[in-house]
Structure 1
């Protein structure tokens, strides 16, 4: 929908679309428009085929290098090496393929939300047609319970309200009208004369002229944004890609150096090729993709126990990198259930109403007085009025409490239940009955009902806007007695009394102002005793001379645990930004209450202000904005992109269709599992099973721990690779043209996958560091090797490679066989890694961490040592790996000497505090 139909009058809309409100479109015209505009359906982009997804997995540089190594091994007769490498490739490709194959669903969910049938006027008659056959210009009948099948300009509204929460983020149904709007720069939530595809009619009836179908609707626009929104790589994926490319460069560089040295010494090409294979295998941690996936899967399992379901494993670590959480308000920070928060009676007393959502559990807590609500005649009478003058129905099914109808009216019924008044009992056995209803309309701004009470007397129960009720009032009920009040002048919308009731008017006005400052939706209640003659009069006459009983302040309150969760984010250096379709005042009040707005420097920016900003201005103000209010899906997308441009790692929460493009674009999209639409869930990376913001904070903690453990694993794995490469390089540099390889490719594979891989995998369950949630979050461009980790990997790897070469060189000089010497080098490198695993657990030194706090690691080290000894001492191991059994003295010497690189370097770091050691 490109034209601003909400600014057009009904007559101009009819004229511009060439239709008729009495006859609709003719059959001939419908055919023309169907050819012009196509079907009223959302277009679905074709996803990748299975073969395309499978081929995509081989673009990983690690997989590419391993593939070359497997091929070379096969053609040079190293069949066991080729098979082993091939199995590793298959495992990595299958895991990655399966994770990606499970995506590609978002558009299907959008299509499922569309209405299947619609009632339109064609050739002067109302007909039911499939929604896909609707065309612009059709006159659409709108009734309670309908899902709108297209975007329409409302031309007739009879108490019509539509729930647009999934599209706009509004927590309340929107009352619709047919009048044209003058402001051409308002957002969807303020377009009171428009109806949008996929939204639901909650009450009333009406007519609308179709102004947009299919991809030309607002939801179609969102679908188009989803299709064209590029899904960003997570920070971990970017880091892993960088590691893979770096390893590829290193591997090729090392191979090139060895080839040059080999050619210089005149070595045969076959020996140079075998050495190149060994170095390629040594330089690449073959188990890295698999182990990363396993570590993330374990983290995913822990997250599910905390009510966070990760759809993509890479998203788990991303949470730990998050620097800003862009959170939707309704249903995430708030309960998505309207609730009476404060009550005021005409005697000037306030109560705070406790409880959660639509649950009847709660109480009226007196504020600055000691009167129980049940002892206030005006409060109890007011709750009777609020319950009876009400079109909503309270439903309790076991422990589950819900409201059918308008949520604001439902909040009044629940408040009454907290004071002991049950709607169903009052109307069935309580002696009350409804004689006649006069529903709310925008002209009167009130609703009223004639009630017959248990004494057979009649009274008018009235509920409405506080200023309107006061204008129609003739008195206040104070301590059970009616105090007369006659307005003598008007100031603004409120009447001012010049009689003994003036103090009550001032108090009443102060209560209205107090509730408004807290962003509470305020409703006033009153009553009027009726005679038999009154029953025959028009309701507009009856709604005069009302006695005011009190006020109720209503809102969708914050979740009780959100304040602590926002504070935890703040302490961890993670900003929380509210992005909502709701009004700025309401959003700002809640943001202050829960700690998102903490100072005067925290800005509140509206959608209309965003429209006046270019992207550069938005990026500039983003670090200072705490609340974005009254925003559209395009705004949400721009905000996320601006955060990312500022090098922030942005998490975006949402539950509606309007959130889908931003969820898809964000570094991590967090969808609501209970109230979230299918579109939001399919667009997100993480689903909150309890719709609770505090669950995100738990997930951030898990993500940080996982990142720490992945760094520990990568440190361990790459240190092993540096050791394997360096032992071969040392041999080439120091042994001359008669060089013999200290390690075979199969030995290197064993170290990478078993002797080093198993214990390194146990690092994935290492307990969290004490300062985990006190550190500042990592920036998007921060490397895995920050804080001198890369230097430590190289230094320790060279030390381990040096020890392994010394063992090999000593055995060769001692006249022992080449196989025995290789076994010595193999055992030395295995035990060096097993000692080093305990140092990898800490970012300080191993002397600062209790080795017994990770029992899984102890078990993995014991298992790895046992299996590696099996390679050395069993017949099968000796046959496959060409090893020889070491003597007892040699084994003990190797075991003790292998500890030196770790103990010496850790001791040096502990004493000198040098970080890079």
Structure 2
């Protein structure tokens, strides 16, 4: 019972929930008479007390506040400080250039945040705008926001439920609750109490839930929850509490930013210390400090990371995975656990007859989905000839006539109109050429229909055949039909149902159920002869057979699960379906390969503490019959174990877990807008295999980001050490070998352009045989730090050496700086070919990345223009070099890369 309900007559805290009590008792709790409903004045009073029937809305941050937040980044703070100091010391061009870079990076990040999910808004849009309630003894249409606890809500097919209700009357009511419970089929509703206080949400068949759709029948219910006091409201609360965690990439960029800031401050402190000792002027020291700050910060890092992730997102979109947030592209590469829904993701979301038992004979049914192509195959592998199997033909004919579903074509593909389980029977019959339309054209008449309802658990039709025979055809729950059957069809003969026969049928039902199949029985009764009990014909039946129906796994899923396992990624099924079905599917596709991998129900999770759940999830393979709270707890438990968790989902019930997971993956075909808005990745084909493809792409992108970071930071170390060597080795009057704008040019153009194309590198051969990266692993693992420092220092030393030699040979300061500038550029161009591999440049063809070759050519051309044009002389302070000097710097610049790569190749030193 809702908390709001208790304010209207149910103050006792020990009251049983609404579903477990009689409808009249629930009405009494709310002080309402169902036949008259609330008095309008009483309804107005309650609305004033409870407020409108809508979800709470948080006030969004203004866009300008979101933009300013971007400047809290340590990298941007240093750049802005450098820009301000440049302006104060008269270096206006430097100031404008540095500030422009900072603002551009902030804008890119803000734009991505601006496009983030608006999940609660989408959740509100799902609510029904109007509803029909009984007020003062008559039905009235009112805005859904005016509904109050105790209202009598009148519903019919097509309505969206405007509040949570306890059904008082349910005439063949069916409700599609998939968005909240994960149930793949509409749920039959009834008005009787359901014993128990801890009944799973999906099993509360006398309750209606806000935002779900009535697909059939009509009924009435008493409103027991409105607004935030509904199941949807609870999900909205969970979504508010389920803050999106920072992605592994964001955490690593944060660590890198702090390292670079500390490094920049240390270097600046060293320079100022040396300057004070040598008696340098304040202006000169500040100018040098600016140069070092610019040299230490990879200005293009945020922008290039965004571009690389965007390129990866484009590749993923071509493979049916749409990244809504760029950071999710890299997160996929870190994923260690995939929590996946069953229906539509692992399975086809198309109910299909997989087995049938007819007249004592078992058949396997081939084919896929709703395509009317396939065969009935016996134990020997022989396909049935339908004309020689009269019992099978009769069972399929009865199934096709005793049926409300239709096989149609939609968007060029077969589809089912009506109940998916009934549709499976229609498709099974169509596979051997049997259809309702053909039988009606052959003069078979349907004289009377007894629709399915939740009480009888069966449907029947009275059929008259052209030979004058009148037959009652029935399909329904096997236990119900078995209890009403007096005879059984065996090998073409109608035999009296003996205890041994009944045991055999029950064994078939149990066998099908153990395979995760939903069972449906078919029976007939000949009404041609006059019998005294024909006023109640649904008894003394002849049982024809049993169907085994399921939503089968997608053909590509077992291979995808196996590939994920080889990559060290565990797959966990989390579903609203029954545990038996979930266990069977998990076994078929390889999620569960042994008894050590456990299966748990939602009711078990209710009894577990968070600590126990954290232990359980380490070896769990399946969670069945779960609620939104359960999904959220499972995700958090995995994260407490250090797992990087991907969570798939399609419904409103999945939204909190999608937000809380490291990467939420929503279904693009069958998913709700709330689910899509809560996710970081949307599958355009609802296919689990697409997730594994996206993981592969995510790993490739991360590899390429590491290659880019290695290239960029090596350049930064080279720039910083070039200046440091000048200050430490040139005595009391050191000179800057390169200016701040030269450093910006190297970082953004001559080095930045080739480095960017590392994002186009193909995947390494061992990509999907490595284990997932640990969540807390930074960019400097596996020898990356040593490679950056050693190579960068050697390039810096070489650059300073060229600068000093030119000065000693009588060159002007501009010529010496230009020689150092070109040495630095050429050294980075040589290094980029080594950075594109985890081995050495001798083992990877330089022609493998045509985009890189084009970028290198463009970089050299632009740098030559910067050196040999008047604009370059004015802006960068360069001077035209004689051709021999230019060629000399090119070959000298190759030495650090060729020397260290040669040592690594010969001696196998992994950290070089």
Alignment TM class, shorter chain as reference: over 0.9
Could you tell me how far 1:825 is from its partner in structure 2? 1.0
Could you tell me how far 1:415 is from its partner in structure 2? 1.1
Contact 1:339 1:554 (C-alpha < 8 Å) held by counterparts: yes
Q: Tell me whether 1:20 sits opposite 2:33 in the alignment.
A: yes
1:332 counterpart SS class? coil
Contact 1:873 1:884 (C-alpha < 8 Å) held by counterparts: yes
Could you tell me how far 1:485 is from its partner in structure 2? 0.8
Contact 2:351 2:420 (C-alpha < 8 Å) held by counterparts: yes
CA distance in structure 2 between the partners assigned to 1:786 and 1:907 by the alignment: 22
The residue aligned with 2:103 is: 90
The residue aligned with 2:190 is: 177
Correspondence list, 1:174-253, <5 A: 174-253=187-266
The residue aligned with 1:861 is: 856
CA distance in structure 2 between the partners assigned to 1:161 and 1:360 by the alignment: 27
Match for residue 469 of structure 2 among 446, 449, 457: 457
Could you tell me how far 1:139 is from its partner in structure 2? 1.0
Correspondence list, 1:22-421, <5 A: 22-346=35-359, 348-368=360-380, 370=382, 372=384, 374=386, 375-397=388-410, 399-421=412-434
The residue aligned with 1:483 is: 494
Alignment length (residue pairs): 898
2:240 counterpart SS class? helix
The residue aligned with 1:657 is: 652
Higher alpha-carbon deviation: 740-749 or 53-62: 53-62
CA distance in structure 2 between the partners assigned to 1:444 and 1:898 by the alignment: 86
CA distance in structure 2 between the partners assigned to 1:779 and 1:173 by the alignment: 42
Q: Tell me whether 1:879 sits opposite 2:890 in the alignment.
A: no
Could you tell me how far 1:86 is from its partner in structure 2? 2.2
The residue aligned with 1:467 is: 479
Could you tell me how far 1:363 is from its partner in structure 2? 2.6
Could you tell me how far 1:876 is from its partner in structure 2? 1.9
1:773 counterpart SS class? helix
What CA deviation, in whole Å up to 9, does each residue of 1:638-689 have, x standing for no partner?
1111111111110100000000001011111100000000000000001000
Correspondence list, 1:489-500, <5 A: 496-497=499-500
2:378 counterpart SS class? strand
The residue aligned with 2:807 is: 812
CA distance in structure 2 between the partners assigned to 1:486 and 1:865 by the alignment: 90
CA distance in structure 2 between the partners assigned to 1:289 and 1:796 by the alignment: 23
Q: Tell me whether 1:531 sits opposite 2:524 in the alignment.
A: no
Gaps of 5+ in 1: 488-495
What CA deviation, in whole Å up to 9, does each residue of 1:782-824 have, x standing for no partner?
1111101011101110000000011011111222111111111
1:800 counterpart SS class? helix
Q: Tell me whether 1:745 sits opposite 2:740 in the alignment.
A: yes
1:58 counterpart SS class? helix
Could you tell me how far 1:105 is from its partner in structure 2? 1.7
Contact 1:373 1:380 (C-alpha < 8 Å) held by counterparts: no
Could you tell me how far 1:104 is from its partner in structure 2? 4.2
2:572 counterpart SS class? strand
1:329 counterpart SS class? coil
2:618 counterpart SS class? helix
What CA deviation, in whole Å up to 9, does each residue of 1:603-652 have, x standing for no partner?
11111111111111111121101111111101111111111111111010
Contact 1:373 1:379 (C-alpha < 8 Å) held by counterparts: no
Match for residue 782 of structure 2 among 787, 803, 815: 787
CA 1:57 to 1:664, structure 2 compared with 1: closer, same or farther past 3 Å? same
Could you tell me how far 1:861 is from its partner in structure 2? 1.1
Could you tell me how far 1:176 is from its partner in structure 2? 1.9
The residue aligned with 2:819 is: 824
What CA deviation, in whole Å up to 9, does each residue of 1:37-88 have, x standing for no partner?
1111112212221111111111111111111111111221212211211221
Contact 2:599 2:621 (C-alpha < 8 Å) held by counterparts: yes
Correspondence list, 1:723-742, <5 A: 723-742=718-737
Higher alpha-carbon deviation: 50-59 or 103-112: 103-112
Could you tell me how far 1:299 is from its partner in structure 2? 0.7
Contact 2:117 2:678 (C-alpha < 8 Å) held by counterparts: no
Match for residue 439 of structure 1 among 451, 463, 466: 451
Higher alpha-carbon deviation: 397-406 or 273-282: 397-406
CA distance in structure 1 between the partners assigned to 2:750 and 2:840 by the alignment: 22
Match for residue 591 of structure 1 among 578, 582, 586: 586
Match for residue 552 of structure 2 among 551, 557, 563: 557
Could you tell me how far 1:842 is from its partner in structure 2? 1.1
1:331 counterpart SS class? coil
Gaps of 5+ in 2: 4-15
What CA deviation, in whole Å up to 9, does each residue of 1:356-385 have, x standing for no partner?
322323332333353515131111111111
CA distance in structure 1 between the partners assigned to 2:246 and 2:547 by the alignment: 49
Higher alpha-carbon deviation: 548-557 or 174-183: 174-183
Q: Which runs of 4+ in 1 moved over 6 A?
A: none
The residue aligned with 1:574 is: 569
CA distance in structure 1 between the partners assigned to 2:362 and 2:43 by the alignment: 60
Higher alpha-carbon deviation: 132-141 or 464-473: 464-473
* TM-score, scaled to structure 2: 0.96
CA distance in structure 2 between the partners assigned to 1:486 and 1:754 by the alignment: 86
CA 1:805 to 1:604, structure 2 compared with 1: closer, same or farther past 3 Å? same
CA distance in structure 1 between the partners assigned to 2:490 and 2:781 by the alignment: 70
Could you tell me how far 1:182 is from its partner in structure 2? 2.1
Correspondence list, 1:591-630, <5 A: 591-630=586-625
The residue aligned with 1:636 is: 631
Considering only aligned residues, what root-mean-square deviation do their CA atoms show, in Å? 1.6
Correspondence list, 1:676-695, <5 A: 676-695=671-690
Contact 2:189 2:454 (C-alpha < 8 Å) held by counterparts: no
CA distance in structure 1 between the partners assigned to 2:357 and 2:412 by the alignment: 29
CA distance in structure 2 between the partners assigned to 1:640 and 1:213 by the alignment: 28
Higher alpha-carbon deviation: 552-561 or 396-405: 396-405
The residue aligned with 1:490 is: none
CA distance in structure 2 between the partners assigned to 1:373 and 1:238 by the alignment: 64
CA distance in structure 2 between the partners assigned to 1:749 and 1:441 by the alignment: 75
CA distance in structure 1 between the partners assigned to 2:349 and 2:246 by the alignment: 32
Higher alpha-carbon deviation: 847-856 or 431-440: 431-440
The residue aligned with 2:640 is: 645
Contact 1:145 1:203 (C-alpha < 8 Å) held by counterparts: yes
CA distance in structure 2 between the partners assigned to 1:378 and 1:105 by the alignment: 56
Could you tell me how far 1:522 is from its partner in structure 2? 0.7
The residue aligned with 1:425 is: 438
1:425 counterpart SS class? helix
1:576 counterpart SS class? strand
Contact 1:47 1:104 (C-alpha < 8 Å) held by counterparts: no
Contact 1:704 1:772 (C-alpha < 8 Å) held by counterparts: yes
The residue aligned with 1:491 is: none
Match for residue 720 of structure 1 among 715, 718, 721: 715
* TM-score, scaled to structure 1: 0.96
What CA deviation, in whole Å up to 9, does each residue of 1:517-538 have, x standing for no partner?
111111111212212746x965
Could you tell me how far 1:539 is from its partner in structure 2? 5.0
